[in-house]
Structures are given as structure tokens and as C-alpha cells.
Structure 1
Amino acid sequence: MDRRRYRFCSQWELPAPPSAVYDVLERAQDYPRWWPQVRAVRRGDGASGVITVRSLLPYALTFTAREVRRDREAGVLEIAMSGDLDGWARWTITPHGHGSLARYDQVVDVNKPLLRRFAVVGRPFFRANHRLMMRAGRRGLLTRLSGGRPAV
């Protein structure tokens, strides 16, 4: 097993139609407005940008995100990542009950020296840090989808 490789999967049940969820998730430049751990998104050309994230642990990750797939019909948004993280991430938004299911899949290799140095002992902390970030993202998205009112 490569200690630098991480695979993540999160699923968010959301009380909004897939089109509404897709509309919010496709605007990565707005993530810092509703997702506290997404610290900055700097738009590059039309299909790329630089993103900086930081969760609870005292380190930030910066990477270039390049659009690979944007398919409204299928509900798919996918990026390739390079920088502190190399790999890919994908949102898949599907109908679920009276709302949506937003599934986030990510496979990355960590390039940041600090994370590589502590790959073995730090792995449980890095994974917990990611879970905290995703939990906050879901809360922020729920608030955004409800028009700014905290959602239940």
C-alpha cells in the first residue's frame, strides 16, 4: 500500500433537487462563501483554478484543479488535481427520495513534504481531518441551498 495515497468517499443526502445541488457545486469559485475549509479559489483559465483548503490540523493544501468533466445530464463534476495533492475528485449528484444524493469521490497522492514525512503515524489524523472538512461542507451546502437559513 502506498502511504501517500488516499481514497475518500462521502455521501450527502440533501433536501433539494439534483439541479439545485449541481448549480451550487459547479460554482467552485463560491465554495469559500459556504465551505469554511475552502480558504481560496483563484480562477485560472475557463477550465482551471488554484484552490487552497485547510481544516482543523495546522496545514493548508494548495492545488491546481483542472476541469475534466462537467455533465449536467449525468450530474457529474470531475477535476484533475496537481500540486500538494495529485489525483482526481468527482461529485455525482443523483435523485434520492424527495431530494438528492451528492457523492464525493477522491483519489489523491499527497506531495506536501510535511504530510509525506508523517504518512504512517499521521494517517488516522489526516483522515479524521478530511471527515471534519466534509461534515462542515455538508452543513454549509445545506445552508446555501436553504437560502442562507441554517438547515436542519
Structure 2
Amino acid sequence: MAAHEYYMPTNWRVRADIWEVYEICSDFEGYARWWPEVYLGIHAAGKDAETGNDVFAILSKGKLPYKLRWTSCKTVENAPHALSLKAAGDLAGRGTWKFEQDGEYVNIRFDWYVNADKPLLKYLSPILKPVFRSNHYWAMDRGRESLDRELARRHKAEVSNR
């Protein structure tokens, strides 16, 4: 594995219905609303030539003082159990979300295989890879917290609409 190549798995467990979690995680445009500490902006950017799926231009950040510009699109969907995507730009690679209902909980796994192609990251990865990995996990921790808030918001709205 080259210094700028990363494999970063993440596991979450939330009290929810698998379909609800899948709906949230598969709606790329919604990330900027419910995961705002990381996703600063997402907008439609055309269709992917290979898959025909919508491509989204993404501006994201972590705890470190740099921003990432990249695009993403879905490559495979097996609702509500899995969703795969590809990325290009400052981050280039692929990721897969997996969802499994376990009683009243959903076990969530995100496998991220990515090259850090932003020049700053690419050239500093040989010495700062642990710092960059830590930055990714900080962002994923914000995602877990944000998913909890989004689920609570939805449940509160459901109760209010009754």
C-alpha cells in the first residue's frame, strides 16, 4: 500500500430501523444538513458516464485546517443492506456502507478505500499518515453523533405529526 493509500473501516450501532438509516445514509445531498461539521456543501454535478447515476460535488473538512473537494456517486445499491460509492478528486477510491438490523438496533459498517490525492495530503502522507487517519476518524465520530441527532429529529417530528 502506497503512503497516500488508506483503508479506514468504521463501525456504528444505532437504535433505529434499517430502512430509516439506509434512507439517511443513501441521500448524499442530505449530508450537509445532518452532518454539517464535516460536509460543508454538496450539490448535483451531472451524471456518471459509467453508471448513469447522479454525481455530487462535495466540499468537506475534518478537524485539521484543510478542505477537500471531491465528487461521489453511487455504484451499487442493495437497499436496505448495502450501498457502494466511488470518489474522485482530492479523495479518490471507493466506499461501502453495510447495514444490518439487530433487534431494535442497526449495525452499520463503512469501509473506505481511498487515495489522498490532494497534493498536501499525498506528499505529507509518508510522515503524517497517522494524523490524517485520526482526522478521518474524528469526522466519522461526528457522523455517528450527527446520525443520532438526525434520528432524534425525525422521531420528534413523527410524534409532533400525530
TM-score for the superposition, normalised by structure 1: 0.92
Q: Give distance in 2, aligned partners of 1:97 and 1:12.
A: 15
For 2:63, the equivalent position in structure 1 comes to 56
Task: Give the CA deviation at 1:146.
Answer: 1.2
* Aligned-pair identity (%): 27
Q: Is the 8 A contact 1:13 1:96 kept in 2?
A: no
CA contact (8 A) 2:11 2:110 kept: yes
For residues 60 and 21 of structure 1, the distance between their equivalents in structure 2, rounded to whole angstroms, comes to 27
Residue 78 of structure 1 is matched in structure 2 by 84
Cα separation, 1, equivalents of 2:154 and 2:64: 27
Q: 1:83-103, CA deviations, whole angstroms, 9 ceiling, x for partnerless residues? A: 111110111111123210111
User: Following the alignment from structure 1 to structure 2, what is the Cα–Cα distance between the partners of residues 19 and 148?
Assistant: 13
2:97 paired residue number: 91
Structure 1 residue 121: deviation in Å?
Answer: 1.7
Distance 2:95 2:59 in 1: 15
Match of 2:10 in 1: 10
Instruction: Identify the range of structure 1 (40-49 vs 125-134) with the bigger mean alpha-carbon deviation.
Output: 40-49
Measured on the aligned residues, the alpha-carbon RMSD in Å equals: 1.7
8-17 or 59-68: which moved more? Answer: 59-68
Alignment check: 8 A CA contact 1:11 1:103 kept? yes
- SS at the partner of 2:108? strand
Cα deviation, residue 44, structure 1: 2.2
How many residue pairs match? The answer is 149
- The residue number in structure 1 matching 2:72 is 65
Which protein shows a greater Rg?
2
**Any runs of at least 4 consecutive aligned residues in structure 1 with deviations exceeding 6 A, and if so which?**
none
Match of 2:138 in 1: 132
